[in-house]
Amino acid sequence: MEGSGIGQFIPLILIFVIFYFFLIRPQQKKVKEHKAMVENLKKGDKVITSGGITGTIERVIDNERVEVEIAENVKVEIIKATGIQSLVGTPEVKK
C-alpha cells in the first residue's frame, strides 16, 4: 500500500521540477541580471524606461534614483529598480 502512495506523488514532484527549470530558474536569472545592470548605471548611459521613453542619464542622485534627460532641457527623476527597463545600444551578454 505504501508503494502506491509514494507513486501518486511522483507526477507532482515531476511537475514541480519541470516548473522550476522552465519557469522559476530563468526568471530568477533575469531578475539577477537586471539588478546588476541597474547597479552599474552611470552618467551618459542611454536607457529605456518601463514606459518606453528613451533618455540619457544625467546624474545618479542616490542608490535608488537617477535623473534622466528625455529631451533637450527636459529631465525626469526615475526610480532605478522599477523605472529602468534596459540599456540602449549595448549588446546583451549571453552565457
The per-residue pLDDT for range 40-82, each reduced to its tens digit, is 888 999 999 888 899 999 999 988 899 999 999 999 999 988 8
Contact 75, 69 (CB under 8 A): yes
Q: What is the pTM of this model?
A: 0.68
Beta-carbon contacts of 37 under 8 Å, excluding residues fewer than 6 positions away, are 86, 87
Confidence of residue 26 (pLDDT cuts 50, 70, 90): very high
Q: Which H or E element spans position 73?
A: none
Beta strands per DSSP E along 1-95: 46-49, 54-60, 65-71, 74-79, 84-87
* Domain residue limits, the chain: 2-87
How do residues 12-24 score in pLDDT, each as one tens digit? Answer: 999 999 999 999 9
